[in-house]
Chain A
Amino acid sequence: MNARLFCTVIGLFFCTSLHAFVQGWSDFVMGAGNLTHQAGKYASDVGSVSYFEFRPLFTASYRYEYSPEFSFIPEVGITLPETSDDETSSTLYSFLNAPIAYHYGDWTFRFGPGFFFTRISGNGGTLRLQNGNTTDEFPVPNGSATTRNLTWNLGAQTNFDKDWSARFDVSILKLFDSEKRAMNHVLTLNYHFGSIL
């Protein structure tokens, strides 16, 4: 079932864009904001955790209006790459979501599946670090690894006017695994281009 869901999500995303080009979409939206990855999950210091991280995020989506109340809003998002202070590694996050939206006045509520990608890259080389009573050269990863997580996303958007909106989304990774379950959250300010055709 998960493989079919993946096919459907990816297929829906790319194929609705092609369909949009043919049919015309009601709204193309671009946003900028912040992504917090696995909020409260890891130690930001010994004995403390972080629920917010400053990590710029850019998104693009288009609203496929099925009815005045319901839409399908496929979306992509990507962060700026993060490079370690010693420039030996970098991390990049991206996502691909396929939520169904319900519109009520100036509010839009979104729910649906998606995929979250984590790309960690290393430049190779070594770092000299303490090892017991001496120091040693520890290898730094050479090459990249990309992970792919199925996510379940829930969010709300408020429209300031016809051009601007803000939204807050929560993405759950490993929803059914009580030990690994984690949550990302996204806050963006969006500009609505309207129909682009």
Chain B
Amino acid sequence: MKKLLFAFLFLSLSAYSFTLNNGAGAAFKKDVIKVNVAAHTCTNIGVTNSELLSIAEEAVNLFWNRVATSKLEMIGGSIVTVASDFQTGQVCTGSTSNCSPTPALVVSSDILISCNTNAANYSGSNEVLGVTVPNNISGAEIKGALVLVNDQAGNSFENKPHAAKVSIIAHEIGHALGLGHSPFREALMYAQFVEGRDRLARDDMNGITWLYPEEEPDLGICGSVDLDGHGQGSPLSMLSGLLIGFVLIVYGRKLLPRF
């Protein structure tokens, strides 16, 4: 029995380890995050700007808007006019692990997707489908993030089927939200593209939950049971709610008729 119990406990627990893309654990603080697309023409990715915006909307609805334990809400934005630097500029100076965002490419708010032809952004390879940098971070808040889709001639994105393009854009949006890569092949945030992904994996869901935890219901008048300082409200208001509940139970029993 002891061996069985030990085995019971030992077998239960193999959870997942997601990563972030910044040391501060930064996340958007807005209630709703928009995904916009830059207006300049994408030459080599096989889709128009409008189609790219539709792909982004499909990506957020198929993946990131489906996590019950996260408060994250994303919507498709609009096609926006931006500087030509977004089409040809380099997103970072320095290495990918020590990125200093180029000031001209800083995104003021939400997420911007732009086609980009600068080979330096993709380590000189057409196999790198895109690069994402939350390049507007203030403390623990992401204010804006940039997704660059590889628009060089001969890139790998162009000939991918529609579903693959959706999952690729969804992966880059995951980086824009603050997630790093996952070590698990079934995860959307796995470093390599894998055909057939149509939903998030546990690792992705844990990551987005940690960054954007759901707190139902709104406890403006009742306090929070959150233990880590993420919530709002005061313990005193929760205790007053408990006292009200106790009074209802004690005296309510006398007032209500029996079935």
Contacts and interface: CB of A to CB of B under 8 A. Distances in A.
Contacts of A55: 12
A137 B180 CA distance: 10
A195 interface: no
Nearest to B215: A148
B199 A41 contact: yes
Contacts of B97: 131, 136-137
B216 A141 contact: no
A26 B231 CA distance: 37
Contact of B22 (A136, A139, A179): A139
Given A66-B259, A131-B191, A149-B69, A3 B96 contact: no
Interface stretch (B31-39, B46-54, B82-90, B244-252): B244-252
Q: What interface size band does chain A fall in?
A: 35 or more
Contacts of A181: 68
A182 B13 contact: no
B18 to A, nearest CB: 7
A42 interface: yes
The binding surface of chain B is classed by DSSP as loop
A46 B187 CA distance: 8
Given A10-B238, A84-B14, A15 B125 contact: no
Given A19-B250, A56-B9, A91-B15, A146 B213 contact: yes
Contact of B241 (A10, A18, A66): A10
B40 interface: no
Interface-centre pick from B68, B70, B227 (highest chain A CB count, 10 A)? B68
A129 B202 contact: no
B217 A11 contact: no
A138 B245 contact: no
Interface in A34-92: 38, 41-47, 49, 54-56, 66-67, 69-70, 80-86, 88-91
B90 to A, nearest CB: 14
Interface residues of B, number: 83
B13 A49 contact: no
Given A145-B210, A146-B226, A6 B217 contact: yes
B220 interface: yes
B3 interface: no
Contacts of A132: 96, 122-123, 125, 128, 131, 191
A85 to B, nearest CB: 6
A107 B56 CA distance: 49
A172 B70 CA distance: 15
A139 B228 contact: no
A89 B96 contact: no
Interface of A: 2-8, 10-12, 14-16, 18-19, 38, 41-47, 49, 54-56, 66-67, 69-70, 80-86, 88-91, 115, 117-120, 122, 126-127, 129-134, 136-150, 173-174, 177, 179-182
17 contacts: A2-B216, A11-B242, A11-B245, A11-B248, A19-B246, A19-B250, A45-B186, A47-B197, A54-B12, A56-B8, A82-B12, A132-B123, A140-B19, A143-B25, A143-B228, A147-B70, A180-B68
